[in-house]
């Protein structure tokens, strides 16, 4: 009797598993039917390419990764750093609704004892398609400003380190929590509007010249200061090989303290490519109100910078590519109140489309009694 | 932190009201119809095996996901509906080939968050009249779109693949 009961239970379990498997199995039925050839209706053809409704659950996940390791030498201490490893995960709820996240591990290894291992949530947002060209994002997303903040896989830019304007003035990588609306048009025009959490620069990150904007990013993923900032961007890519974009951001109070430090960021950039030739440039300006500290009597100056970068890339039929670039940068901020000019040149080698080896040289022309420096950088990166 | 409940409520509301339009720019069947004067020809099937499979792999830089590829052909015109992943999602692309040259490229279904520019005419019209030259490369240079590099790469591979498939059918 006990044996029969066990057998019945086993049969029931097997039946349940088979039924569950049957639920998962028909994912590619339409595809298989289509591949048989012959006369097929328009509905059958359309159904074959309309994926998510009949996808198995694991097909709804997608993964990606990118990473880079750097070595810096010259007139700076030698430093080796596995700078970042990023895991991208997305889940497609249906054709119109998805979740996207990126988790980043920074400085997995570094010979610099002052460089600590950091885990960061770079993105985690829901995206809803309100129409073919109309999207709403909510959660933690990359602020739509500049060139590098949204697209920064190491295979997509020249130079081992990201350009200094998009680290000193635009604090890339810059994630904020809130809502973002995006609309694009057949003409190649796109606009974005976001309301989101604001910066919070602590008093310790102000010096006599003003705030360290980069330190204002709230890395702890807190929800304080929500909706105290707004960003608007217009982007145009309707002419072959050309991208033009401009963005403005208002921050209610970047210090979030007793001193009223409201701020405007304005930035614009262009990217032009024609065959192997490329030219890109970017300018960004912070207009920050208030004083460096309550009662200090010292008004904060603007912080701004710009760069221009010509390049040329040779693409070979075997998939390899080599590119070379030069870059001229100038910026003024709290650490360089009298300005700093950088001259940079280097080379990228792509053994495959998803991997890159980089080398570059930077000459830093510094002011304020600081010594000028030569820096040599070497790096490897991947993205898939 | 006080706003977290609001965000969760709004996120749940988004889940509940996810009924917007699909990002289907053109139905695959409509692309076939428009390529053949309004009527869909019988579906033909190309089996990917041996040298065909290995050459397709070389073009795509990875194995093509299916062992049989359907296409529609009448006279010297063939239509291919092929898919390649941009960053994370497949881009469903319709390609019309006539006399060994690309007649038109249409992005039919686009699923990626970025790189939507490849679905627009200013990008797709670059493929018009492209043929296959040595090394299975396109005879026409395709300009990159900043921020859409992976999608540009994916669609370019599909154009090369369609021209190759057309040449052997």
ipTM, interface predicted TM-score of the complex:
0.78
Asked, for residue B36, whether it belongs to a domain, the answer is: yes
Using N-to-C axis directions, what is the helix angle for B28-35 and A42-49, rounded to 10°?
A: 130
Interchain pair A138, B19: CB under 8 A: no
Residues of chain B in contact with residue A150, where contact means CB-CB under 8 angstroms, are 114, 147
Asked, for residue B11, whether it belongs to a domain, the answer is: no
- Which of B92, B108, B113 is the closest to A127 by Cβ? B113
Tell me the mean pLDDT in the region A342-367. Answer: 96
Interchain pair A126, B135: CB under 8 A: no
pTM recorded for the entire structure:
0.80
Asked, for residue B62, whether it belongs to a domain, the answer is: yes
* Res. A271: pLDDT tops 60: yes
Interchain pair B18, A94: CB under 8 A: yes
Q: What is the pLDDT of residue B3?
A: 53
Q: How far is A221 from A175, CA to CA, in rounded Å?
A: 9
Asked, for residue B3, whether it belongs to a domain, the answer is: no
Residues of chain A in contact with residue B7, where contact means CB-CB under 8 angstroms, are 138-139, 177, 223
- Which of B4, B14, B40 is the closest to A138 by Cβ? B14
Tens of pLDDT along A206-221?
988 899 999 999 876 6
Asked, for residue B116, whether it belongs to a domain, the answer is: yes
Are A166 and A304 contacting, i.e. CB atoms less than 8 angstroms apart? Answer: no
Residues of chain A in contact with residue B146, where contact means CB-CB under 8 angstroms, are 147, 151, 237, 243, 271, 273, 280
Which is higher by pLDDT, A227 or A29? A227
- Which of B7, B18, B23 is the closest to A138 by Cβ? B7
Domain boundaries, chain A: 1-50, 66-383
Residues of chain A in contact with residue B121, where contact means CB-CB under 8 angstroms, are 186
Q: How far is A97 from A20, CA to CA, in rounded Å?
A: 25
Interchain pair B1, A223: CB under 8 A: yes
Closest chain A residue to B126, measured at CA: A240
φ/ψ of B166, rounded to 5, equals -60, -35
Q: How far is B5 from A377, CA to CA, in rounded Å?
A: 46
* Res. A325: pLDDT tops 80: yes
Residues of chain B in contact with residue A63, where contact means CB-CB under 8 angstroms, are 88
- Which of B30, B137, B147 is the closest to A151 by Cβ? B147
Query: How is B66-121 classified by DSSP, letter by letter?
Result: -SEEEEEEETTEEEEEEEEESSSSEEEEEEEEETTEEEEEEEEE---SS-GGGGSH
Which is higher by pLDDT, B57 or A225? B57
Q: Does B70 touch chain A (CB under 8 A)?
A: yes
Q: Which position has the token pair 């950039």?
A: A269
* Res. A146: pLDDT tops 90: yes
- Which of B1, B116, B141 is the closest to A222 by Cβ? B1
Identify the band that residue A4 occupies on the pLDDT scale cut at 50, 70 and 90: very low
Interchain pair A139, B23: CB under 8 A: no
Asked, for residue B162, whether it belongs to a domain, the answer is: yes
Peptide bond into A173 cis (omega under 30): yes
Closest chain B residue to A275, measured at CA: B143
* Res. B61: pLDDT tops 90: no
Q: How far is A125 from A301, CA to CA, in rounded Å?
A: 35
Q: The domain containing residue B60 runs over which residues?
A: 23-167
Question: Number of folded domains in chain B?
Answer: 1
Tell me the mean pLDDT in the region B123-150. Answer: 88
- Select A66-383's CATH number: 3.40.50.460, 2.40.160.10, 3.30.465.10, 3.40.50.1370: 2.40.160.10
Q: How far is A152 from A163, CA to CA, in rounded Å?
A: 11
Tell me the mean pLDDT in the region A245-272. Answer: 94
- Which of B20, B21, B88 is the closest to A90 by Cβ? B88
- A163 CB-contact burial (10 Å; exposed 0-12 / middle 13-18 / buried 19+): buried
Asked, for residue B146, whether it belongs to a domain, the answer is: yes
Q: What is the pLDDT of residue A71?
A: 98
Identify the band that residue A31 occupies on the pLDDT scale cut at 50, 70 and 90: low
């Amino acid at each position: 009797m006990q044996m029969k009961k066990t057998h019945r239970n086993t049969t029931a379990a097997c039946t349940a598993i088979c039924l569950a498997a049957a639920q998962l199995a028909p994912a590619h039925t339409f595809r298989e039917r289509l591949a048989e050839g012959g006369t097929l209706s328009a509905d059958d053809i359309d159904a074959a390419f309309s994926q998510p409704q009949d996808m198995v659950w694991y097909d709804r996940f997608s993964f990606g990764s990118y990473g880079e390791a750097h070595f810096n030498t010259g007139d700076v201490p030698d430093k080796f750093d596995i700078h970042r490893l990023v895991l991208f995960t997305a889940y497609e709820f249906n054709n119109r609704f998805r979740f996207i996240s990126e988790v980043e591990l920074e400085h997995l290894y570094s010979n610099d004892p002052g460089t600590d291992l950091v885990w960061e949530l770079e993105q985690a947002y829901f995206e809803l398609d309100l129409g073919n060209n109309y999207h709403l994002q909510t959660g933690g997303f990359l602020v739509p400003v500049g060139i590098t903040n949204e697209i920064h896989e190491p295979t997509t830019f020249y130079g081992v380190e990201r350009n200094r304007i998009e680290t000193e003035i635009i604090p890339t990588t810059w994630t904020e929590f809130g809502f973002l609306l995006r609309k694009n048009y057949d003409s190649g025009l796109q606009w974005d509007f976001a309301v989101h959490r604001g910066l919070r620069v602590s008093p310790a990150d102000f010096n006599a010249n003003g705030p360290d904007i980069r330190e204002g990013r709230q890395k702890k993923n807190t929800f304080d200061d929500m909706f105290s900032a707004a960003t608007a961007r217009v982007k145009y890519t309707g002419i072959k090989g050309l991208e033009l974009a401009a963005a403005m951001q208002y921050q209610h109070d970047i210090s979030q303290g007793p001193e009223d430090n409201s701020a405007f960021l304005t930035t614009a950039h262009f990217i032009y490519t024609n065959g192997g030739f490329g030219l890109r440039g970017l300018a960004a300006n912070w207009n920050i109100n208030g004083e460096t500290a309550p009662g200090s009597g010292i008004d904060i100056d603007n912080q701004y910078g710009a760069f221009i970068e010509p390049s040329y890339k040779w693409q070979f039929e075997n998939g390899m590519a080599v590119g070379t670039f030069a870059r001229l940068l100038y910026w003024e901020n709290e650490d360089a109140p009298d300005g700093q000019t950088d001259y940079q040149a280097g080379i990228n080698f792509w053994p495959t489309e998803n991997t890159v080896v980089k080398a570059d040289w930077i000459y830093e022309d510094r002011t304020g009694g600081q010594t000028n420096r030569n820096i040599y950088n070497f790096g490897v990166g991947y993205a898939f | 932190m006080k706003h977290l409940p609001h965000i969760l409520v709004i996120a749940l509301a988004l889940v509940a009201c996810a009924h917007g339009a699909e990002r289907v720019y053109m139905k695959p069947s409509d692309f076939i119809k428009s390529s053949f004067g309004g009527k869909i020809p019988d579906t033909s099937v190309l089996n990917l095996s041996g040298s065909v499979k290995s050459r397709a792999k070389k073009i795509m830089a990875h194995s093509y996901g299916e062992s049989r590829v359907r296409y529609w052909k009448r006279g010297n015109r063939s239509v291919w509906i092929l898919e390649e992943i941009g960053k994370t999602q497949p881009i469903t692309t319709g390609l019309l080939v006539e006399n060994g040259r690309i007649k038109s490229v249409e992005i039919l279904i686009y699923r990626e968050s970025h790189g939507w520019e490849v679905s627009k005419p200013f990008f797709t019209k670059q493929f018009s009249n492209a043929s296959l030259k040595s090394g299975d490369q396109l005879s026409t240079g395709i300009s990159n779109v900043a921020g859409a590099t992976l999608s540009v790469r994916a669609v370019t591979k599909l154009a090369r693949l369609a021209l190759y498939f057309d040449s052997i059918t």
